Amino acid sequence: MAYLDVSPMTAALRTTPEMFEMDHGWLHHLPSHHRFSFGPKGDVQLSAQCDCSLLAIKPDQEAELAVAFGEWRQSYWRAIEINWEFAAHFARPSAFRRLLIALTGAAHRRLMRTAASRAHYHPVPRRVAAS
């Protein structure tokens, strides 16, 4: 049986990590558009629009590729994810969220004014006329 030699990709993960990104749980090689999914036991699934996906990955290279992916994810991609998460903490809220915040603030101010005006209102008790 013919197998796919993934040693060039293993080397690329180590030498040009910027050519890869994670996309919905798949490792995406940007230039070729090849996508790889790594299972919990080190198995690798390849998705490609060319004939590359017709061949199975060499079994002895599959584990090595999974290790290289783990190293890439930890040493390169994790820092990018943390920086994106950090930047998101300071992102401006969406227009819809800003509108909801403004409406909530306006409602709060109106309720506070209404409550304050009621605090000064002391009704005079009525006397019931004796018959």
pLDDT digit string, tens, across residues 46-94: 999 999 989 999 988 999 999 999 999 999 999 999 999 999 998 888 9
Determine the pLDDT at residue 91.
85
In the structure, what pLDDT confidence band is assigned to residue 123 with cuts at 50, 70 and 90?
low
Measure CA 88 to chain center: 10
Tally the C-alpha atoms within 13 A of residue 24's C-alpha that lie toward its C-beta.
Answer: 1
Look at residue 129 in the predicted model and tell me its pLDDT. Answer: 67
pTM of full prediction above 0.75: no
Please report the pLDDT score of residue 42 as a whole number: 84
Q: What's the pLDDT score for residue 102?
A: 93
Transcribe 2-43 into DSSP letters. Answer: -EE--HHHHHHHHH-GGGEEEETTEEEETTT--EEEE-TTS-
Q: What is the pLDDT of residues 13-47, one digit of tens each?
A: 999 999 999 999 999 999 999 999 999 888 899 99
Cα(32)–Cα(88) distance, integer angstroms: 30
Rounded CA-CA distance 104/83 in Å is 32
